[in-house]
């Protein structure tokens, strides 16, 4: 009796493993490749046929001639293998020091800019990998980028506004700007001059 139960259990385990561990993933991969190939392949952004990053993962930009991404909480920064928040308390001194350090970096990069710094340029997202910033944050950075590239500030602001993605279905999320896409468009604008 026990041998029959063990045999039936082993057969069911084998069938479940075959169906759920091999057949189902292969079918779902095939369907997604046909219906959503861009998303199924990592939402890769290409420049001249070469992948330069994903639309879903932030990247570090440090040059004054590029828009800077939202800060990352991962180590090293923008490491998709260790997505996490910082776990720092908003009421804690360590968090206040980190925000002050980020604000000082932004002020040092553009000392004449005295407007209030948007919060998403000072704080990391929950995943630490956010590829987007708010339109307000991108417009805040526009004078620094324009000056570094010797472009009219109005042209850079127009480019920002052209790259704003509105809320999904008009109600979900917030308006946002993908930093990598904006920087690639900025390179294209700069090279067309």
The tens digit of pLDDT for each residue in 117-127 reads 999 999 988 88
Confidence of residue 157 (pLDDT cuts 50, 70, 90): very high
Identify the pLDDT of residue 64. 92
Question: Is residue 192 predicted with pLDDT exceeding 70?
Answer: no
Residue-wise pLDDT tens digits, 55-86: 888 898 999 999 999 998 888 888 888 887 77
Highest mean pLDDT among 39-53, 99-113, 137-151: 137-151
Band (pLDDT 50/70/90 cuts) for residue 113 is: confident
Q: In what order do the strands lie in the sheet with 176-178?
A: 132-133, 176-178, 164-165
d(CA 149, CA 76): 28
User: Residue 148 and residue 53: Cα distance in Å, rounded?
Assistant: 23
Residue with tokens 């700007």: 177
Extents of the domains making up the chain: 1-41, 44-191
Residues 134, 174 contacting (CB under 8 angstroms): yes
pLDDT at 191: 65
d(CA 67, CA 60): 10
Q: What is the largest distance, in Å, between two alpha-carbon atoms of the chain?
A: 84
């Amino acid at each position: 009796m026990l041998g029959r139960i063990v045999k039936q259990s082993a057969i069911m385990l084998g069938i479940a493993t075959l169906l759920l561990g091999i057949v189902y993933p292969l079918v779902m991969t095939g369907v997604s490749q046909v219906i959503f190939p861009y998303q199924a392949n990592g939402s890769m952004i290409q420049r001249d046929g070469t992948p330069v990053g994903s639309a879903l993962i932030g990247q570090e930009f440090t040059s004054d001639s590029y828009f800077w991404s939202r800060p990352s909480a991962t180590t090293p920064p923008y490491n998709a293998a260790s997505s996490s928040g910082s776990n720092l308390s908003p009421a804690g001194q360590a968090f206040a020091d980190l925000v002050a350090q980020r604000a000082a970096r932004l002020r040092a990069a553009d000392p004449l800019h005295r407007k209030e710094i948007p919060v998403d340029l000072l704080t990391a997202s929950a995943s630490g990998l956010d590829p987007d910033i708010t339109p307000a944050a991108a417009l805040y950075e526009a004078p620094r980028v324009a000056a570094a590239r010797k472009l009219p500030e109005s042209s850079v602001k127009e480019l920002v506004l052209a790259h704003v993605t509105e809320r999904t279905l008009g109600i979900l999320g917030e308006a946002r700007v993908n930093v990598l896409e904006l920087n690639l468009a900025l390179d294209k604008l700069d090279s067309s001059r």
